[in-house]
Chain A
Amino acid sequence: MSQMREKLENTNEVVFTSEFPALDGGGMAKVEKNAARLAPWFVGVNATDNPAAHAHASNTASAIAMKMHGIEPIMQIVCRDKNRLAIQADMMGAALHGIDNISLLTGDDVTAGDEPESRRVFDIDSTQAINIARIITTGKYLSGRKIDPAPDFYISAVENPAAPPFDYRIERALKKYRAGAKYLQLQICYHSDRLEKFCAGVAKIAPDLKLIPTIVLVKSAKPMSFMHDKVPGIDIPQDILNRVSSAADQAEEAYKLTVELAKHAMTLPSVRGLHVTDFRHDDSLERFMYDLGQKPRN
C-alpha cells in the first residue's frame, strides 16, 4: 500500500516529499547513491517526466528503479509529450510495477527546454488526465474497455498558488480535487500572503484536499534570481532577494530564509507536509530536517 496514502489519509503525520534527480547516465549505481541520501527523510519522492522539457530517463523507468532501491515513487506524468493513449499506457505501466502514486501535470512548454523545435502534444490537459487516472481506478480505460482488477492509484496533482489569476487558482485546485486528486504539491511560493490566501481558500471549500507546499534549499541569491528571471510562474519579492544578496554569508541567510518559509507554510490550513527541493547538494538537507523537528526514518 502507498505510504503516501497511508500517512495522509490515516495519520496526522507531517509528510515530506522530494524530487529524484533526473537520470541521464550512471546506471543503478547513481540511483542507489541518490536513494541513500533521500530515503531517510521522505515518504514519497517524485519521479519526474522530462522536467523543464529536457529529455531524461523516462518517468516509468525511473520510478521502477527508485522502487527497487527502497524509495516510494510519486510518478509524474506531464501532458506535453504524450497523447491520451501514451498517458494511459504510463499509468498502466506504473500499475504493473506496483507504483500507486500518480501525479498529473500540464508540463512546461517545449520552448523551456533544449529542444524547442519539438512538437508539443497537449492532447489532454492535466485536469482531464487526473480524471482519466480516476476512471482507471474504477476498472476501465477512457474508451470504456474493462480493466480487471482495477489499479488502486493514489492520485495527486500540482498547483501554483503564486501565479495569476490568484482567485481562480483556488477554483482550479478544487476542480482537480473533484476530478480525483487527493493532494496537491504546490509550486514554490515566496509570497507568503498568496500562499496563505490559497490554503485558506482550499481549506474552506475542500477540507479533505491536502496541500504540500514546496520549499527550495539554495546556497545563494543567484539561483533565486535565476528562478525569478527565467522561470515563468515564479516571482520572488525584491526585499527577499535583497535580504539574501546583501547578506555577508549568503548561504547561511538563504538557509535561514528557507527554514522561516517552511515553518510558516506548515502553520497554514490544509497543509499536511512539505515538498523539499534541494539545490544545495551539501549537508544542509539533514540540518534542515532536524531544524524542522524531523528524525531520520528507519
Chain B
Amino acid sequence: MLKKLLPFVEHVLKKPVWDCRMCGQCVLHSTGMTCPMTCPKTLRNGPCGGVRENGNCEVIPDMQCVWLKAYDRKVYLPLPTVWKDHFNELRPPVDMRLQGSSSWINLVTKRDQQTPAGWSTTDESH
C-alpha cells in the first residue's frame, strides 16, 4: 500500500517546487536543490558545452540552463556543507528501473545507492 501511495505523495509535493520527474534516485541535495532531470539532456554531472552566452539552455533558448541555476544555488544558498561538498561527486548512471518509484522508499531501503557491479569511481592511475 505504502509503495503505491508514497510515489503519489512525493510527486504531488516535489513536482510544483522542483518539477520532479520521479527518477526514483533523488540527488537534489547534491545539486543545489535543482533537479538535473529537468535538463533536456538529463545530465547529472554538470552542464553541456552548449550553454548560451546569456546563461540559457542550448535546447530551450528561453529557459535558464539547469546547471547554471544549480551552481548558483550551490554557491549562494545556505545549504549544509556536506551537501555542497557532494556537488562535484561523480553521480552514477540513472537506474531506469526506478523511474516512477518513490525516491523516499529507495533512500530508506538504500536501493538508490545500488550501482552496477562494474561501476567504481576510483581511478588508481592518478
Closest to B36 in A: A125
Q: How many A-B residue pairs have CB under 8 A?
A: 127
Chain B residues within 8 Å of chain A by Cβ, number: 39
Majority SS at the chain B contact face: loop
A-B contact pairs, 10 of them (CB 8 A): A106-B49, A126-B43, A126-B48, A134-B123, A142-B93, A165-B72, A168-B71, A172-B47, A178-B123, A233-B51
Contacts A164-B65, A168-B71 given; does A144 touch B49 at CB 8 Å: no
Which of A112, A125, A138, A163 makes the CB contact (< 8 A) with B44? Answer: A125
- Given A178-B121, A233-B50, 8 new contacts (CB under 8 A): A109-B40, A109-B59, A120-B41, A143-B116, A163-B47, A165-B51, A165-B68, A175-B45
Assuming the A-B contacts A122-B42, A178-B123, A208-B126, are A142 and B49 also in contact, with contact meaning beta carbons closer than 8 angstroms in the complex? no
List residues of A (133-192) whose CB comes within 8 Å of B's CBs.
134-135, 138, 140-145, 158-160, 163-165, 167-168, 171-172, 174-175, 177-180, 187
Contacts of B53 in A (CB 8 A): 163-164, 235
Please provide the chain B residues from 77 to 126 with a CB less than 8 Å away from any CB of chain A in the complex.
88, 90-94, 96, 116-121, 123, 125-126
Interface residue B55 (Cβ < 8 Å from any Cβ of A) = yes
* Residue from the list B48, B72, B118 in contact with A143, Cβ < 8 A: B118
SS class, residues of chain A in contact with chain B: loop
